[in-house]
Amino acid sequence: MLTLSDLCAELSITPATGRNWIKLGKIKPEGKKGRSYLFSEEYVSSLKADLENGKIKSLKSRRNKTYVSGKLLYSSYIPATSPNLPLVNKLISDIADFESCSALTTEPKETAGSSEQTKPFELTDSMLKAILAGCAKRLIAKRIPDEEQEKYSHLITELHPSEDDASLPEDILSLTGSFEYVPGEDTLGLIYISLKHLRARKSEGAYYTPGTIVQRLLGHLFEASILSEGQDKQILDPGCGTGNFLLCLPPGIPAGNLYGYDLDETSILLARINLALKYRIPDIDFWKEHLLVRDFLHENKNDKTFDIILGNPPWGSSFTADERTYLKDTFECGKAKSPDSFDLFTEQALGLLKNGGTLSYVLPESVLLVKTHHIIRELLLKMTTLTHLEYLGDVFDHVQCPSVIMQVQKSADSFLSKNPVVYEKDSSFKITTKRKLTGDAFDFLMPDNEYRILNHLETLPDAKRLEGNAGFALGIVTGANKEMLKSRKTANNEVILKGIDIFKYAFKIPKCYINFDPDKCQQVAPLSMYRAPEKLLYRFIGGRLVFAYDDKQTLSLNSCNIVIPNIENLSMKYIMAILNCSASEYYFIKKFRSVKILRSHIEQIPIPDADADTQSDITAIIDSILELCRNPETLKPTTEEEQKSKLTALYKELDDKCFKLFNLSDSDISFIKDELKNENLFLPL
């Protein structure tokens, strides 16, 4: 059994809130031990799930805000060692608790002849600004001498003109007087963005940059001696938010060189306070000229140009119909079916950079590879030279989106002419050899030697491709797996495969059956694909090439897709061997780096031509693998360990034959084997 303290810890609520919920009947103890309430683990787990999905009707319109407060705190925005981080966390938690308790304790208030509902507490925009103003006053007091503090009052008044804070709880107001001024730290920004609703951040395309990533971006500029020689350089952050990039620039760069734009007025007001404190310049008119509420995409290219444009532009912003028309008429990227704001911000930056100027952005990794961003890649190839590229992985709080720092110089020189440095985790390398580049994709996450091998595979003479030479189909989407899939065989059902049942060359027959009626399924490919005399099945998810042969007309779910090759003079089993081999695996991993195995990926894999004798040798080995997997008890050796050993030997023999078909040198073969040595072979025993 769990205590009330245990329950509160699981739900991220305070004990006071927990006791209040018991009093109001919102949670129900299953017993008491002394004065302590007790709850079963099952009850707490169920309650936690109901809070997450909003099933508790009394909390449906105002769910437990403390439970999600951890999701609202951008803890990576400032250093973990900051004295302000626990204060911001407590501030958010207290506000969320106050809202939650207010909603729970709201009761009808009787008046003469009527009954009205007491309005629950809700953090308004005015209250939020009052909190920010209180924090700003505290930072001014810690940073600025007493006799000069009055000069900064106009900056506070711009943020929050009213002194009426009566509607805020006293303990929340008292917290605002506890913050410390830390040079280069955007405490005001952390408070502001953490209290904004998650849905608003998504629609605005605002993903706030962790402090470590800001420092990484500025570090690359230092490495190129761009900031160290920045005394006369005009610097712009076109989506500056509350000013975290500008705040972290070296103090030796004059304030008059800095500019920042943002559409969010509160962000700009906070940025002005941040920069005023950094430079100890209280002149509000000065900051109004440098930090502006302005739409960067409407900036006139003839007004002002810059030496450095940096920052983290908006991602995935939504646009109105009128805005789409303007973007289509103004930008090359605006002509895309669904233009992305970061593409548009990149194109606009290229137009506002001086020749020789530097652009350094934090961008989603998709800008390098995804087809919808090909226009901006073509513009980058045409107008810039790459100097630094860092692969960051998933670095944004609450957002799964791999990201990069891309630094380019506006130049007519070729894109790789400056031998750019590429970073990933703790390693780095320079690109020193010429590479074939198009707007189709930028894949730079490989040193020159790896690229040479990839290029060798890609340009293999007489190689075939499955593009235009194969039929593809998705597995079945039932729309009701729980009802339609059974674990017992009957006279009316048949086996249906999932992705986890697929291994290289063969599949394992699961205890999963379906009474297949296409009309009852949500999505079904042409039946001829499932019932083909022979076909290849492959795992859709997993980041590995895993293809199995099927000549039993077996059904498959949508985690297990279908390809039916049709290349003249090449057998299906031979093509399967190529798709399963280490050379193809290396090609796939290095070229696509995708968890999903897409049709477009499979279509691009080079398939060496082979004569009939070679194909016959390979097919014979595959047949031995299939026989061993389908009828292991009929073959010698008979123990499971011996069967696995035999299967592994057959796989390696097959893999070596495939290596030779790619005309790879012994050293390149050894290199590929070493790269893949720790990978799962996905063998079917």
* Count of residues in the chain: 685
> 57-71, 293-307, 501-515, 621-635: lowest mean pLDDT where?
57-71
Average pLDDT, the chain: 88
- Full 3-state SS string of 510-522: CCCEECCCHHHCC
User: 524-572: per-residue pLDDT in tens?
Assistant: 999 999 999 999 999 999 999 999 999 999 999 999 999 999 999 999 9
Say which DSSP state 475 is in: P
Which pairs from 337-340 meet CB under 8 Å and 24+ separation?
337/372, 338/372, 340/315, 340/316, 340/372, 340/373
pLDDT the model gives residue 52: 58
Res. 258: pLDDT tops 60:
yes
pLDDT the model gives residue 68: 42
Going from the N-terminus, what domains does the chain have, and what CATH number goes with each? 1-51 (1.10.1660.10), 210-454 (3.40.50.150), 470-675 (3.90.220.10)
Of 113, 127, 138, nearest to 172 by C-alpha is: 127
- Residue 461 token pair: 């003479």
Res. 66: pLDDT tops 70:
no
**Biggest distance spanned by C-alpha atoms of the chain:** 99
pLDDT the model gives residue 99: 66
> 21-30, 60-69, 184-193, 585-594: lowest mean pLDDT where?
60-69
pLDDT the model gives residue 70: 47
pLDDT the model gives residue 509: 94
> 58-67, 458-467, 532-541: lowest mean pLDDT where?
58-67
DSSP secondary structure string for all residues of 584-648 = HHHHHHHHH--SB--HHHHHHS-B----HHHHHHHHHHHHHHHHHHH-GGGSSS-SHHHHHHHHH
Q: Supply the pTM of this predicted model.
A: 0.78
Distance from C-alpha of 270 to C-alpha of 186, rounded to nearest angstrom: 9
User: 204-237: per-residue pLDDT in tens?
Assistant: 545 679 999 999 999 999 887 887 765 789 999 9
Q: How confident is the model at residue 164 (pLDDT cuts 50, 70, 90)?
A: low
pLDDT the model gives residue 562: 98
Res. 21: pLDDT tops 90:
no
User: 605-626: per-residue pLDDT in tens?
Assistant: 999 999 999 999 999 999 999 9
User: 224-233: per-residue pLDDT in tens?
Assistant: 788 776 578 9
pLDDT greater at residue 547 or residue 111 = 547
pLDDT the model gives residue 206: 55
pLDDT the model gives residue 44: 84
Q: Which H/E stretch holds residue 265?
A: helix 265-279
Distance from C-alpha of 594 to C-alpha of 588, rounded to nearest angstrom: 8
pLDDT the model gives residue 58: 47
The mean pLDDT of 624-630, rounded to a whole number, is 92
Res. 113: pLDDT tops 60:
no
CB 473 within 8 A of CB 562: yes
Q: In 3-state terms, what secondary structure has residue 62?
A: coil
User: 142-163: per-residue pLDDT in tens?
Assistant: 999 999 999 999 999 999 987 6
pLDDT the model gives residue 398: 65
pLDDT greater at residue 640 or residue 280 = 280
Contacts of 637 (CB under 8 A, 6+ apart): 643, 645, 646
pLDDT the model gives residue 31: 82
Q: How far are the Cα atoms of 30, 382, 417, 418, 422 from residue 432, in angstroms, in the given order?
A: 69, 20, 8, 8, 11
pLDDT the model gives residue 383: 98
Res. 403: pLDDT tops 80:
yes
Q: How far are the Cα atoms of 239, 300, 425, 605 from residue 214, in angstroms, in the given order?
A: 14, 27, 16, 38
Contacts of 156 (CB under 8 A, 6+ apart): 133, 136, 137, 140, 273
User: 169-190: per-residue pLDDT in tens?
Assistant: 777 778 888 999 999 999 999 9
pLDDT the model gives residue 420: 97
